[in-house]
Structure 1
């Protein structure tokens, strides 16, 4: 059997002796398990260290932390008040017209009754003249009626005298003839005529008395009506003249004139306000008060201001319950003297006393109250690392402190700075530097 022998000159390759060696590594299942474990650890770390939806991290040096403490609560309310004249009289044009003269400038001090300006109103002047003519005509007519009534009264009196005289004469004649007739010296017919005349005069006198009584009653009533009508017409004429006089604008009181900016030639309407007079040297304060205190402010409560190194006492004299922009207004009147040199519109700081000082648990007043309404606060944990939301019950407030009624203990710390940006969170993580 022939076999082919290798050629000793050819190089030996060794190919027949090499084997592929497989490297051992991690299987795909193992790799998947490792990846899943890493993700789990990352998730655990994230949930452990990342803030939750109801928490937020806040730098500790950006918030104000205050301590709950026991003390005395001074129940007062700081007010910012403006100076206003105690008495202000407004000047309104009673009748419209054209400004003919302006005798006083704005800001001047005027005296009661001083002439300030003169207006003209031709229509009003003609109306007053016509009214005066009508009244004069009516008064003349009434005087004529009074004269007629007086003449009637005189005629009645004259008739009474004549009737009485005739009656007396008839009685005397009858008395003389009665004695003669009894002795037969006078004819019977003549005596009967004398008797008939006496009866006639008696009846005539009685009728005249009734006539005079009736006329007197009617005349008295009619005269009273005429005099009442005359007085009413004279009053009407006085009013018309007064309206005409109102074209001369005078100061109703003494004081400082302000807002008097009319010009000569200017036309003003009836009832138009053309200025005001402020009482000199007598002022009051008007202060705005938060609507929260509407039920606690009463007329008669005391207030004080410090001005020029002195303390001045005031009293609440009027409360305006209308609320505008979250505030209502009160009038404060000085009790005794008032500071010198006060100017209208000047602002002063006042303290209104709402109640007597009482022991209480207190926290410093802060802007947090505007965000929570006093219903809850953030309370700092003992380690100082967190602040947790807690419901509380707060009471009275002044410029410095808020009264704590329930929910906090002395020594606890709370956040009193604004809660803007995290008022909806339940927990704050306080990050220390």
Structure 2
């Protein structure tokens, strides 16, 4: 009868086996070596995780590759068709407005658009014309009076000349008679005095004719100048009456009527606009950051109605309104016929084009960081690296320093990095 298991318990022999002898002592060593190998492989990842302190999913980020190629800087947007010439017709004088056209009517240059009725101006013209006629009559009367006075003076001059000749003949007779002893010497002296008197009278008559001619000349000149001044006043009033007729300054179309029909308008009031449809341009709004690069003469492209036309920048507004600048493009060549005022078109202006430069897609690192740094993907890490950018377009920026072709850059979602120098990016 078996009382216990003591007869069954006996030590095992040192028979060969896997966990026997020296092999059993090697198991801890092998386990340790395996742990060291696993730690060596995982150590860099662990170290990166410990250094970064955070992890961001790759799906939350926008990634772009640095490329070597052309960079085209342009400004694109929407523009509207405007008239390069859209003059406003003003009232140069006050009065009642009478229009001959309606908004939308096509008009030719110098066509009558309307007129302003001004009774006061017409009455003033009639008065000044009457004054001019009176001055003309006075001038004619002065010419007649001058001729009469000169005729009388000339008659006196001729009479004095006859008297001089008579006195000269009388002196000759008296001298011959005195030499013959027929008359006394006193008669000769008396005849000589009469000759001298006649000579003086003739000289005065001749001088009187010259003086009267000068006097009449100045008097007639003064009356002629007064008449000319009055005629100029009449001409100016007639010009003002002609200005009451409103004529189209260009070939085009009546735009907007600024006042009502039969309204009493004051001088300087805008009445209507005329749109020149032969000189259309496209106006676009450009952001202030790009406006400084715009210049007159830059090439552009205008598109609409399934067509494209070449254009040139014709003007850039010097004023910034709400962070934008107005720029206009004129069509290079003939203006398309199918365009209409205020029609919307797509516009693109070429600012600059560079070949074989490092470029990367434009992203938040340009606006938020000012282009001073960017996060570069390297071995599952987003590493903050200082960079320097150059020219910028709407979609790309030029990289001057800090990046190489083929590197991947975080262009969006970097806000999650919170400015860290290095962040783990998980798949």
Q: TM-score of the superposition, structure 2-length normalised?
A: 0.75
Paired residues for 1:23-102 under 5 Å: 58-98=56-96, 102=99
Q: Is 2:334 the counterpart of 1:337? A: yes
* Other structure's SS at 2:281 match: strand
Match of 2:406 in 1: 411
Match of 2:310 in 1: 313
Checking the alignment, whether the CA contact within 8 Å between 2:298 and 2:349 is kept in structure 1 is yes
Match of 2:284 in 1: 287
Cα deviation for residue 211 of structure 1 reads 1.6
Match of 1:402 in 2: 397
Paired residues for 1:244-283 under 5 Å: 245-246=244-245, 249-260=246-257, 262-264=259-261, 266=263, 268-283=265-280
Match of 1:376 in 2: 372
Shift of the 117–62 alpha-carbon distance from structure 1 to 2, 3 Å rule, reads farther
CA distance in 2, matches of 1:170, 1:330: 95
Shift of the 340–255 alpha-carbon distance from structure 1 to 2, 3 Å rule, reads closer
Shift of the 102–198 alpha-carbon distance from structure 1 to 2, 3 Å rule, reads closer
Checking the alignment, whether the CA contact within 8 Å between 1:368 and 1:418 is kept in structure 2 is no
Q: Is 2:398 the counterpart of 1:386? A: no
Paired residues for 1:71-150 under 5 Å: 71-98=69-96, 102-117=99-114, 124-125=118-119, 127-150=120-143
Q: Could you list the per-position Cα deviations for residues 110-139 of structure 1 after superposition, in whole angstroms to 9, with x for gaps in the alignment?
A: 23344444555xxx42x2244235414532
Shift of the 191–95 alpha-carbon distance from structure 1 to 2, 3 Å rule, reads closer
After alignment, is 296-305 or 173-182 more displaced? 173-182
Checking the alignment, whether the CA contact within 8 Å between 1:380 and 1:387 is kept in structure 2 is yes
CA distance in 2, matches of 1:49, 1:298: 53
Checking the alignment, whether the CA contact within 8 Å between 1:79 and 1:352 is kept in structure 2 is no
CA distance in 1, matches of 2:399, 2:337: 41
Q: Tell me which of 149, 152, 159 is aligned to 1:166.
A: 159
Cα deviation for residue 149 of structure 1 reads 3.1
CA distance in 1, matches of 2:168, 2:391: 112
Shift of the 114–240 alpha-carbon distance from structure 1 to 2, 3 Å rule, reads closer
Shift of the 325–423 alpha-carbon distance from structure 1 to 2, 3 Å rule, reads farther
More helix by share: 2
CA distance in 1, matches of 2:392, 2:349: 12
Q: Is 2:174 the counterpart of 1:184? A: no
Cα deviation for residue 70 of structure 1 reads 1.0
* Other structure's SS at 2:326 match: strand
Checking the alignment, whether the CA contact within 8 Å between 1:170 and 1:194 is kept in structure 2 is no
Q: What is the root-mean-square deviation of aligned Cα atoms in Å?
A: 3.3
Checking the alignment, whether the CA contact within 8 Å between 1:170 and 1:197 is kept in structure 2 is no
Shift of the 50–372 alpha-carbon distance from structure 1 to 2, 3 Å rule, reads closer
CA distance in 2, matches of 1:266, 1:423: 69
Checking the alignment, whether the CA contact within 8 Å between 2:316 and 2:326 is kept in structure 1 is yes
CA distance in 2, matches of 1:422, 1:191: 140
